[in-house]
Structure 1
């Protein structure tokens, strides 16, 4: 169909409704991404939209729905972070496999509902104030917040402002904010149990940043479990969740403890760095040194040998964040909600 077939020169909701065989109200609900429309009917309406060439007026839609059909993915870095903030911060985010998995999970839920994702980074108090002003002006409908630093004030700022938001992990202080999380200590204990069961007796760990809850909890969980097996003194070296820091930490541990036979790295990138150093030092994996990582992203499969690691369903966790936010936007009266995903150990060739 073309515009000349319509008296006004352009198809309207009524034309779409006539082609679809439904009411104008039903067409409006589908176009405005209302979530209680039967999927089969929604598909018929979308086909009619395509057939008629109808183009929704986004400005008019926003006036009616008071929705922008956009949400912000905010990556918040605390000013007390272990690694100093610099111009490479955004680059590190985009090269981190974890971030790619998060975005993939979010899109799997947001895209079918026609919701766009606005990516924002905040690193300082001034940037947080600017962000809050942007959000209060209604440029987006809600916030998906990735924040893992204990002192980050942004979760509290969002709740006090009454802005719809979902956090990527349990808040460090009680807040009225929905979140998705995984018990990091439990995952680290799985790694310890596996190394102990293999008979490893000289075990060390490469820890994540202590200003991040994942770093603290993974170290604590690993040490607790090893202590229960009779090994209360586990050497550790600090890493920053990067491959380079994993290599440096492994060099340090081998210099200090040349007889170690097991290593737990608090993420897969650091484990990959550790494996590289072990190969350079002539250590066989896992015959001489067993290695376990954490997260189970593509770095685990790039590793040689393939990396045994603690699996977190990051894509599923991100998808649930998006669902919780969309639910809150549709029904603001809903109470805050929490979803916890359990980690599992994926055994491969490295341990």
Structure 2
């Protein structure tokens, strides 16, 4: 058998399912390495990970489970896996709103929702549990890093939908907001109000929303003919945003506007600006992203970009169930929902 070829027929003339050894041979790695990838271990290189996932998908490799969606397969729960640390899950309002929307949509199909978060080495343990047949499909939220969980799960025949544009080349259905367009609209508004020294409090660049919101900021600033792009990174938290705001002001005290990658980060920026005596928006205008309840609680209330979180949750469920039934359309495979700029007092 050559690399990438199909399995040979058995003695009844029916093609035998591909084995782990065949996947390893097609990927040019050892069986042990292939096994670690398919168990979502972090102890492999990104290059080996990608080769094994591609080989498993190409050969149609399935491990210890039948294809979901056939008539004889019972309906089970759907899992929502949040690829983030506990601290972020319990402080970022996006997750609570999203999970609530998913739960409501699944209730219409009489399907329960299981929720877990994954960080660090726990990804391997959670991946083994999900692949054991306990769930009908998985919605992966905030997938990131060089070894995304979604690629490993999808390569083993588990229906997967990702929330947020995947940054890796592995093809999985996803649902997202127009993060880039929303960020561009926010910065264009600041430019239209006469702001010219606009900084960006950026989210981690290994996440789709973080990368796309930074790109939208860059699009707008460069289109305006400005060459200075002051950017400081945080980890989505208020504390990290306050520290990033301090760094930006130390380097560029003339800043007159800040676009933050989230409302939580914008709140951190507001906290620091007020501490050092900068008036908002007179001295420094602030714009966030998400339009959480927090945006109206901050003083002054935040101008922000609204993303349709509840709609994202509902569409993610529909995409997952369509994929599980083998009825996913090209439109459902990559859904990007519109955003809206909400004007309040901070800009």
Report the TM-score, using the length of structure 1 for normalisation. Answer: 0.73
Which residue, out of 107, 132, 140, partners 2:103?
107
2:164–2:208 Cα contact (<8 Å) kept: no
Which residue, out of 193, 210, 228, partners 1:198?
193
Partner SS, residue 135 of structure 2: coil
Report the TM-score, using the length of structure 2 for normalisation. Answer: 0.74
Partner SS, residue 277 of structure 2: coil
Which residue, out of 157, 161, 165, partners 1:170?
165
Distance 2:252 2:306 in 1: 28
Distance 1:116 1:300 in 2: 31
Partner SS, residue 305 of structure 2: strand
Farther-moved stretch of structure 1 (286-295 vs 249-258): 249-258
Matched residue, 1:279: 274
- Deviation string for 1:212-243 (max 9, x for gaps)? 23222212220221111121212122211101
2:143–2:149 Cα contact (<8 Å) kept: no
Farther-moved stretch of structure 1 (335-344 vs 254-263): 335-344
Matched residue, 2:305: 310
Return the offset for 1:150. Answer: 4.4
Distance 1:260 1:136 in 2: 50
1:268–1:299 Cα contact (<8 Å) kept: yes
Matched residue, 1:239: 234
1:70 aligns with 2:70: no
Cα 1:171–1:200 change in 2 (3 A) is: same
Unpaired segments ≥5 residues, structure 1: 1-63, 78-88
Farther-moved stretch of structure 1 (186-195 vs 144-153): 144-153
Return the offset for 1:293. Answer: 0.6
Return the offset for 1:327. Answer: 2.8
Cα 1:201–1:101 change in 2 (3 A) is: same
2:165–2:208 Cα contact (<8 Å) kept: no
2:234–2:240 Cα contact (<8 Å) kept: yes
Distance 1:168 1:113 in 2: 20
1:208–1:241 Cα contact (<8 Å) kept: yes
Farther-moved stretch of structure 1 (127-136 vs 217-226): 127-136
Unpaired segments ≥5 residues, structure 2: 1-70
Return the offset for 1:135. Answer: 2.4
Distance 2:133 2:162 in 1: 19
Matched residue, 2:131: 136
1:164–1:325 Cα contact (<8 Å) kept: yes
Distance 1:173 1:273 in 2: 30
2:261–2:289 Cα contact (<8 Å) kept: yes
Partner SS, residue 137 of structure 1: helix
Q: Aligned residue pairs: how many?
A: 275
Farther-moved stretch of structure 1 (105-114 vs 173-182): 173-182
Partner SS, residue 142 of structure 1: strand
